Each structure stands twice: as structure tokens, then as C-alpha cells.
Amino acid sequence: MDAAQLEKDVSEIAGDWKNKEGNLIMILHRIQSKYGYVPREVSLEISKHLDIPLARIYEVITFYNYFKLEPPGKCTISVCMGTACYLKGAPTLLNELERVLGITEGQTTKDGMFRVEVVRCLGCCGLAPVLTVDGKIYQGVKKNEIGEIISKYAAEENGGNGGHKEKP
């Protein structure tokens, strides 16, 4: 990341909040919506800018599930682990995703293509088990459909059908 640009970004975002109480969380929110995650260089810059120890920033980032320390994949696959989905076999779906992609929950594949994360209840328990890919809902998913879903997105990213996403 370009150091000067980074300093400008942080200074702009932090500037709005500089002397307000509870500013760290607000700033981290803004950073994450800008970059998709909170890069270490940015945290170091915030630390300098606001005179907050880096350790405190990481305490906050890792305390809240919402903040990410790794870049999101091009596709984010979220598996719902709410009670209904859990009982309807969400853990099996997660295992299968982890097996096929070779990563664990919270990680991104080496090629930066897929990120897998766990979410709590998406609010559509009637469709359980549910997973979403980039916000698009797949309902009543079965273990043997996982491979198919992944290859579809992989193919799209490789220019298969011009980025057009079909309905499942």
C-alpha cells in the first residue's frame, strides 16, 4: 500500500473523530468499509495518529467478530450457524467448504478467491440450512451441492460467462 496515500486516508477518516470518545471503533468501521478489512499498516498509522497503543487497537479488532484482519476474498461465503441451520446440518456444510477450499473458517484462499466465515442467524430460519455467497442466499443446501456452488463462482471469476451470476 502506498504510504503517503495511506497516511492521507487515515488522517481524513481519523480527523472526523479525533477528539471524540469511543472514536477508535468508529474509525475502524470506516477503515473496514473502505478496505474491506483492517490492514496492519493502517492500524500502525491509526496508532501514531491518535496516540493509541497498537495493542489496544488489536484488542478491539479481535474482540469484535465484525472486524477483519485479512483481506476479504473476491467471494465471501457465509455459513449460518444459527440454531435452526445448525440443527439442519450447517456444521457439515462448513466442514465440506473447509475441505474443498483447504482453509478454515475466517480464512481466505491463497489465490484470494474465496473467504469462508460463520454468521449467527440470517433471519430466514425457514430456509435452513442457509449460506450466502456475496450476500446471495442459497437455501436448503446439501453437502453434495457445495462443490457445484464453488465451481460456479470460480468459473465466473475466470471470465466464464462475463461475470453474470445465475440464479441457483
> Strand 75-80 vs strand 114-119: parallel, antiparallel, or unpaired?
parallel
Binding site for another protein (CB under 8 A): 40, 43-44, 53-59, 62-63, 69
14 vs 149, which CB is nearer to another protein? 14
Q: Which residues contact 43 (CB under 8 A, 6 or more apart)?
A: 54, 57, 58, 61
7 versus 145: smaller Cβ distance to another protein: 7
Which residues, 6+ apart, have CB-to-CB distance to 120 below 8 Å? 80, 81, 82
Shortest CB 114 distance to another protein, Å: 22
User: To the nearest whole angstrom, how small is the minimum distance from the Cβ of residue 141 to another protein?
Assistant: 27
At closest approach, how far in Å is the CB of 62 from another protein?
4
- Return the biggest CA–CA distance within the chain: 53
Select 58 or 138, whichever has its Cβ closest to another protein: 58
